[in-house]
Amino acid sequence: MRPNIVSEASVSTRVNQWWEGIPFITSAVVAVCAAIYLVCLLIGYDSFVGICFLPSAIISQFQVYRIYTSILFHGSFLHLFFNMLALVPLGSELERIMGSVRLLYTVLLLALSNAVLHLLIALLVAYNPFYPYSFLMNECAIGFSGILFSMIVIESSLSGVHSRSVFGLFNVPAKWYPWILLLVFQLLLTNISLLGHLSGILSGFAYTYGLFNLVIPGTSFFSGIENSTWLSACVRRPKFILCTGGNPSGHIPTYTNPNSTSSGSATTNLWSHLSSLMPQRDTSSQSTDSTQDTRFPGRGRTLGAPRSEMIPGIASDSNLQTRLLDNANSNSRPDMTAINSGGERPPAVNSVTEPINSLQQQQALIVSEEDIQKLVSMGFDKTQVEVALAAADGDLDVAVEILMTQQG
């Protein structure tokens, strides 16, 4: 008896599938943070004084690089593990909504806004006339958790849910969810930067209420970056998500009106000029009409029409398959209406054109045989290839689209 060969996927296969499902920027942040921690572990670097977010060093020595270096370093494996474990679902969801380039810009913007709020609060606490407290000026903070708190606020706003579960123990209103997390982490964990997490929450609310709209460019700016030549290698990767949103004001609509003019026409023109200065790839051959069905790439042609005759859209799956079946049936069955009652076919209408038609059919047959071999070598069934080539008038690109549609 043949043994059962069905088995579950291995751990490595599941890990690979999980990793391939994470979008480009989110996976890049995870990889960079993990690589930096591994390098620090190998060389024994654990002081972090030179790279952490230190308000006194930023103000006195103007070490602004700490704004971005501090979010990439982590103090321990558990610190890195839990931060990246929270980043994967949050970053993946936001990247699928915003697009890869827009998410990267948002992360950089949130890191800057978190740093500004962190500095302002630390200065206010340290130099207030009532009870000066200088500890916050000398607090050395590292980790990606400040950005994560901003993402939690933005994601809670975008999801539209009214309540959130705190570790599966109890539910809280969505608007209070980041504040409850801040309180829980501060009470249960040690060596936690309260000001870093608080700044992240405030930045997230500032983003959702549209306070950053003035410095967030429109969709055309991000599309210009995606079309630039120096980013073409990244854009072609399957995990890269294009910025396909149609929001003209440039921000993800949350509490604000997406048609608001808070950004101003001057800012829109500024971002448009900046995007025009970037080197662009030649996309003229890829331009399509607005009425094109986005499920199918390229342009369609009317079946049976000349190759130069193009139509702006492509028919649906059912109509396309129906026409293919009708075409196949009409080619396979004999022409019954052409047979008279005596069982003989009527004479040809124009005998002069018969040699020309037969010559064209022989040429088409030769071309079709070569095309059939090419498509069969790609793994398609020969019968389906013949039907697809007949429907596409010998056009290999259209035939491949038809075959892919049938398999899909």
Confidence of residue 255 (pLDDT cuts 50, 70, 90): very low
Q: What token pair was written down for 372?
A: 């059939």
pLDDT of residue 342: 45
Instruction: Give the pLDDT band (50/70/90) at residue 360.
Output: low
Residue 339: pLDDT above 50? no
Three-state SS at 407: helix
Query: In a 3-state reduction of DSSP, which class is residue 22?
Result: coil
pLDDT score for 329 = 53
- State the pTM of this model: 0.61
pLDDT for residue 121: 94
Please give the Cα distance from 181 to 187 (Å, whole number). 10
pLDDT tens for each residue of 71-127: 999 999 999 999 999 999 999 999 999 899 999 999 999 999 999 999 999 999 999
Say whether pLDDT at 276 is over 60: no
76 is an active site residue: no
What is the pLDDT averaged over residues 47-71? 92
The whole-number average pLDDT for the span 33-58 is: 92
Decide if 242 contacts 235 (C-beta within 8 A). yes
Residue 408: per-residue pLDDT: 60
Mean pLDDT (whole number) for 379-391: 79
Closest among 296, 287, 290 to 315, alpha carbons compared: 296
> Does 318 qualify as catalytic in the annotation?
no
Q: Is 85 left (phi over 0), alpha (psi -120 to 50) or beta?
A: alpha
SS3 218: coil
pLDDT (0 to 100) of residue 31: 96
What stretches of 11-99 show up as alpha helix (H) in DSSP? 11-20, 24-43, 55-61, 66-69, 77-98
Please give the residue that has the higher pLDDT: either 106 or 253: 106
Burial 149-160 (b: 16+ CB within 10 A, else e): bbbbbbbbbbee
The catalytic residue among 145, 156, 223, 263 is 145
Which residues, in sequence order, are CB contacts of 31 under 8 Å at separation 6+? none
Query: Using alpha carbons only, what angle is made at residue 91 by residues 42 and 177, rounded to the nearest 5 degrees?
Result: 110
User: What Å distances lie between residue 396 and 167, 325, 371, CA to CA?
Assistant: 54, 19, 7
Q: At what angle do helices 194-208 and 100-126 cross, to 10 degrees?
A: 130
Amino acid at the residue 279 = P
pLDDT score of 233: 81
Amino acid code (one letter) for 148: L
Give the position of tokens 């302002």.
Answer: 120
Amino acid identity at 19 = W
Residue 219's pLDDT is: 85
The backbone torsions φ and ψ at residue 385, rounded to the nearest 5 degrees and listed phi first, read -65, -45
Mean pLDDT (whole number) for 161-173: 85
**pLDDT value at position 264?**
42
Q: Which of 70, 197, 251, 263 is catalytic?
A: 197
Our measurement of the distance from residue 366's CA atom to the centroid of its chain's CA atoms, rounded to an integer in Å, reads: 43
pLDDT computed for residue 406 by the predictor? 73
Mean residue pLDDT of the chain comes to 75
Residues in contact with 141: Cβ distance below 8 Å, sequence separation at least 6, in sequence order = 52, 53, 54, 70, 118, 193, 195, 196
* Minimum mean pLDDT range among 57-66, 130-139, 192-201, 380-389: 380-389
Largest Cα–Cα distance in the chain?
Answer: 115
What's residue 379's pLDDT?
A: 74
What residues are paired with 311 via a beta bridge?
300
Distance in angstroms (rounded) separating the CA atoms of residues 57 and 50: 9
What is the DSSP-derived secondary structure letter of residue 175? G
**pLDDT at residue 113, rounded to an integer:** 96
